[in-house]
Chain A
Amino acid sequence: MSEGGFFYQAFVYLAAAVVAVPIAKRLGLGSVLGYLIAGIAIGPFGLDFVGEKGQDIMHFAEFGVVMMLFLVGLELEPSLVWRMRSPILGLGGLQVVLTAAAIALCGVGLGLAWPSAMAVGLILALSSTAIVLQTLSEKGLMPTRAGQSAFSVLLFQDVAVIPILAILPLLAVGGSGHSAESHGATTWVEGMPGWAQTMAVLVAVGAVVLAGRFLVAPVFRIIGRTRLRELFTAAALLLVIGIALLMSRVGLSPALGTFLAGVVLANSEYRHELETDIQPFKGLLLGLFFIAVGASVDFGLIVAAPGLIAGLVATLVAVKLIVLLALGRLFKLSLDQNLLFGFALAQGGEFAFVLFSFATQNGVLADSVVAPLVAVVAVSMAIAPLLMLVNEKLIQPRFGTRETDEREADEIREENPVIVAGFGRFGHILGRLLLANGVGTTVLDVDSDQVDLLRKLGLKVFYGDASRVDLLRAAGADNAKVLVVAVDAKEKALEIVRTAQEHFPHLRILCRAYGRPHAYDLLEAGVEHVYRETLDTSLRVGVDALCMLGYRRHQALRAARKFRRHDEDAVRELAGMWKDRKAYVIRAREIIQSVERMIRSEVEQGRHPELDAAWDATGLIDEYGERRD
């Protein structure tokens, strides 16, 4: 059945995802498991729609992992990474070393030679960054201590891939390995002396850091000026692909390189925009990757030796779990967090596929050893989300500590209570008021020059269109309390309001209105707090004019307030009639006349019952007169 053709392939993969993932989510299994099931379904041992193409797709889809690490980097400020250095090196380092040693011992026990056992140990010590991060963030567990610890370990593992690539050839049984060659890609540094290779790596990393610091912002500003959405997406993709390419050329892991670039750009004004642009690609590619993993599970081998595979999977999971739980205790995780941490990381990782094929090429491992192990890794990855589910539903409720870990709160990323959309003439005034009062405010604007200027003035402003859900989410709308819509484009303001109402109903919306009709539209849309942008200033001018005509300032101010109250009431009343022009005109005329009547009678009689009797002695004087009579 497996025909060629790009459209056919795309159709099969997308259809599998669209069918399987919602069902899996509905059953509470999470999207990763859904993708894996979809992969098994369309794989050679299911409906066989994709044939052997699975492997090629996997290679391509691994780029989803690269993008994911870029996004993870974007979320991490450099200072945060620096603060996490002890869990990364301590927890991550110990995990890799201890797990590798334990698995190597098992290998020797099963009759492998020492070097081969060590190679297997190193390769299987790695966990699946893609599955773990995706599952944890889907469950909202990333900010917990367990999530952070798991992330530290995964980060260390990603870095450890490079030395493992270097060590593997040394473990070759016959000693006849090729020289370091990563991922099958041709590198520039091949054949260079060691010091030159190191230099090349340092230069490449330096280039990424410097470009992130000084080149990205100006280039994106120029792109922003074109106001073409798709150009931005293209530039974001170009950035990630470029870095990945550069990194693999100097023999570094592309995932590590893009992670680094992400961290460098974490403080940039284009952070949210980048996140939003890359997110859908990452999601799709990662999904594709999981499908490919599902499709590549070799059921033939499993069926041939079910006991062996099951035993090996159980051993792998058990060994990893024991080491992880012991380390969790050592690093003082509470029982709850430790269980989560252990079960999250107890599987083989996607790098194992790469490393196994590398090890076979180098003559470190025999094909007969690698074939079942690849199946073991695939199965362990496939059951990883299930294991986390078992922990969540069966183990934690029984053995977990129910008290909440108070330290968790510290780990949650700081989120601002206020988001201001639009930081021009209008937004910057209220924004500065908030900032001057020490209120954390996230600012979004679509004018790249304005963003640049404000950044130079020391304000933390992000480039981006606030009418996009993903961008609002990236700006912290899930945890913010207040959204100020201060953009000058009328339609855009309504769009932002609708997006916020639909996706973040908890947000209190304050909206700038251009004029009356715009205010009507906003009130109609259900915005409670609508501010006509010229109302207050105009009334202040009116007060000053009254004063120049001889009114006492206090009275003029009170008159303006009264006028304002009437006007605001009128706008609210008329908002409902705006659509029906006839009724609107009739009522509007009535209101204008009644306000005029009120003011005129005040002038004629000196006083009117509708106005208050403040500081008015007329009644008192009358009464004294009566008494004297």
Chain B
Amino acid sequence: MKPKVLILFAHPALEKSRVNRRLAEAVRSLPGVTFHDLYELYPDFDIDVPREQELLEEHDIVVLQHPFYWYSTPALIKEWQDLVLEHGWAYGHDGAALRGKTLLSSLTAGGSEEAYCRRGHNRYTIRELLAPIEQTAILCGMTYLPPFVVYGTHSLDERAIERHAADYGRVVEALRDETLDLAAATRQTHLNANLDAVIGNPPEA
């Protein structure tokens, strides 16, 4: 059976979004992919925990898709972590619900790639800033992939946005079809740094 992909999408102002909306459109209705719009479902942060846990159990690959706010996720994803990833379910002695699953962060950042490095004015790389998410995945026994990042969203033109959306669609399909070379991927800083190097042919049945 092919792995199933769950996209946890969090954007508090989707109507103003230029890039994330396009990324969302690229994956929203792919077969074998569940697109879960958190801000639409829980506008007042009243998260339905049993439902969220059930969804996670039904899927193999979890994608956190969101804009990068203050070097982190929008607030609802933090709330989601606090409520859904319960001790005894997601982690801890008896918590094994997520073990063996895969987690990918997909985000859009206003700053350029150069800004996110030791010498840049953000001083850290995005991979470094995502350490809390990465460690959350590790604690829950999940495989953590390098993030899919779209940099410099404020200055992207229509063609560039289109290209990123197509890349994102390709990544999600590759995850679903198991054509993503995990070993090659983990060596990259971002999943989309060089897609041709990490996406291959479908494995022999």
| A residues lining the B interface (CB < 8 Å) | 558, 561, 612-615, 617, 619-620, 623, 626
Contacts and interface: CB of A to CB of B under 8 A. Distances in A.
B50 to A, nearest CB: 8
A265 B118 CA distance: 72
A626 B44 CA distance: 37
Interface stretch (B30-38, B87-95, B120-128): B87-95
A613 B82 contact: no
A615 B82 contact: yes
A619 B82 contact: no
A615 B78 CA distance: 12
A619 B93 CA distance: 10
Contact of B87 (A558, A561, A613): A613
10 contacts: A612-B83, A612-B86, A613-B86, A614-B49, A615-B82, A619-B92, A620-B92, A623-B87, A623-B92, A623-B93
B87 A614 contact: no
A620 to B, nearest CB: 5
A95 B138 CA distance: 82
Nearest to A617: B87
B86 to A, nearest CB: 5
Interface string B42-86: 001010010000000000000000000000000000000011001
Contacts of B92: 619-620, 623
B87 A620 contact: yes
Interface residues of B, number: 10
Contacts of A612: 49, 83, 86
Prevailing SS type, chain B contact patch: loop
Contacts of A615: 82
Given A612-B86, A619-B87, A623-B93, 5 more contacts: A561-B46, A617-B87, A619-B86, A619-B92, A623-B87
Interface string B85-110: 01110001100000000000000000
Contacts of A558: 46
Contact of B88 (A561, A614, A619, A626): A619
B83 A614 contact: yes
A607 to B, nearest CB: 12
Contacts of B46: 558, 561
Across the A-B interface, the 7 shortest Cβ-Cβ residue pairs? A612-B49, A619-B87, A614-B83, A620-B87, A613-B86, A619-B88, A561-B46
A202 B140 CA distance: 87
Contacts of B87: 613, 617, 619-620, 623
A162 to B, nearest CB: 55
A197 to B, nearest CB: 62
Among B83, B86, B87, B92, residue most surrounded by chain A Cβ atoms (within 10 Å): B87
A614 B88 CA distance: 12
Contacts of B82: 614-615
A615 B49 CA distance: 13
A541 to B, nearest CB: 18
A598 to B, nearest CB: 15
A614 B92 CA distance: 15
B93 A626 contact: yes
A617 B92 CA distance: 12
A620 B92 CA distance: 8
A23 B49 CA distance: 61
With a 10 A CB-CB cut-off, give which of A558, A619, A620 has the most chain B CB atoms.
A619
Contacts of A623: 87, 92-93
A626 to B, nearest CB: 7
A615 B83 CA distance: 7
A558 B44 CA distance: 11
A558 B83 CA distance: 13
Nearest to A611: B49
Nearest to B48: A565
A268 to B, nearest CB: 37
Contacts of A617: 87
A459 to B, nearest CB: 27
Nearest to A620: B87
A626 B94 CA distance: 13
A623 to B, nearest CB: 5
A617 B87 CA distance: 8
A147 to B, nearest CB: 37
Contacts of A619: 86-88, 92
Interface string B15-40: 00000000000000000000000000
A617 B86 CA distance: 10
A110 B87 CA distance: 102
Contacts of B93: 623, 626
B81 to A, nearest CB: 11
